[in-house]
Structure 1
Amino acid sequence: MTAAYYVQGVLSQVKSAINEQRSKVSTSKTLFVHDNAGPHRARATTQSLRELGIQVLPHPAYSPDLAPRDFWLFPILKDRLAGRKFHRIQDLAKAVNSELRTIPEEDYEGAFRKWQITLKRCIESHGEYFEGL
């Protein structure tokens, strides 16, 4: 993924979702979490997020276990898409989007709660290694 794709393809969808949600909640503040991948740190990305009024929360380097997509979402998608072959990237993207839509909102909320617990444990351990969630 490139920064250009991330800004145009991903953040444009984020912007639409934020605008839709802002009409339902009483705050205009948006916090955003993503890891330290190149496209996420690129100037175009940080500028786009700033223009959208989105505050990015820092993510510790080398900590994929603090990213909900790594400890929760990717295993689900990997399991659901196992054994399927995709000859075009568009077909893969369509299948992933389709699977994401079938995951109940409560499951996303549960992953967010678990992520908060993990972050708290990381803070309490002063960034040292820990197991068992």
Structure 2
Amino acid sequence: MGKETIVRPVVLHPGFQSRKRMFTVFFNYSGPHAVAILPQDTTMTATYYAQNVLSQVKSATNEQRPKVSTSRTLLLCDKAGPHKAKATTQSLRELGIQVLPHPAYSSDLAPCDFWAFPILKDRLAGRKFDRIQDLAKAANSELRTIPEEDYQDVFRKWQIGLKRCMQSHGEYFEGL
């Protein structure tokens, strides 16, 4: 009996490029603050995050609040490697940005995950974009059409979720 050859199906066609791109979205109590797009064929590293993404946050802060600077900026970010790496923490310290503590594995306590991204997915569903810049403009435009009261409401819900998390001693709970 001869050796059997297993042929695996080809999942991707040669030359296929993923159309997924990483967007880093920063928003505050009054609306969108900064949106950064990870360039194609680039990996989000601590160095990239510190040098490129945080510099966009600084520029946006200086533009929106020129008299305040980044020294009064609070940032909520998850426990992803680039967010907690030495290059990032050093850059945040230099900018005077304070990072708010965030429990591990708690996307239900991250406003982007439980609120902003679902809204964007819903509003942009079915639309085709030939260039990533067009998608970025559309995402930014959609974020800007959300009323300020909705941004304020999501921060209130986030605070309620944080209190519930503390009351349950970090145990899982459903719904805000």
Using the size of structure 1 for normalisation, the TM-score is 0.84
The reply to whether residue 121 of structure 1 matches residue 164 of structure 2 is yes
- Kindly tell me: are residues 111 and 11 of structure 1, through their superposed partners in 2, closer, same or farther at Cα, counting changes over 3 Å? same
- CA deviation profile, 1:81-119 (whole Å, cap 9, x unmatched): 000122332222222112112112221111011100000
SS in 1 for 2:102: coil
* CA distances 1:50-100 after superposition (whole Å, capped 9, x unpaired): 110011112111111010011110111011100012233222222211211
Aligned length: 131
Alpha-carbon distance in structure 1 between the residues aligned to 2:51 and 2:153? 29
Distance 1:42 1:34 in 2: 12
SS of aligned partner of 1:129: coil
Structure 1 segments unaligned to the other structure (5+ residues)? none
**Consecutive unaligned residues in structure 2, runs of 5 or more:** 1-37, 39-43
Q: Which residue of 2 aligns with 1:56?
A: 99
Pair 1:21 & 2:60 matched: no
User: Amino acid of the residue matched to residue 146 of structure 2?
Assistant: I
Structure-1 separation of matches of 2:169 and 2:97: 27
CA distance, structure 1, for counterparts of residue 111 and residue 142 of structure 2:
17
Letter in 1 for 2:143: L
The verdict on how the C-alpha distance between 1:96 and 1:8 changes in structure 2, with shifts beyond 3 A counting, is: farther
Change (3 A) 1:68 1:94: same
Which residue pairs with 1:101 in the alignment?
144
Cα pair distance change 1:22/1:126, threshold 3 Å: farther
> C-alpha separation between the residues in 1 aligned to 2:140 and 2:50?
18
Is residue 111 of structure 2 the alignment partner of residue 76 of structure 1? no
Pairing 1:34–2:77 present: yes
Q: Distance in 2 between matches of 1:83 and 1:122?
A: 36
1:22 deviates by 6.3
- Percent identity of equivalent pairs: 77
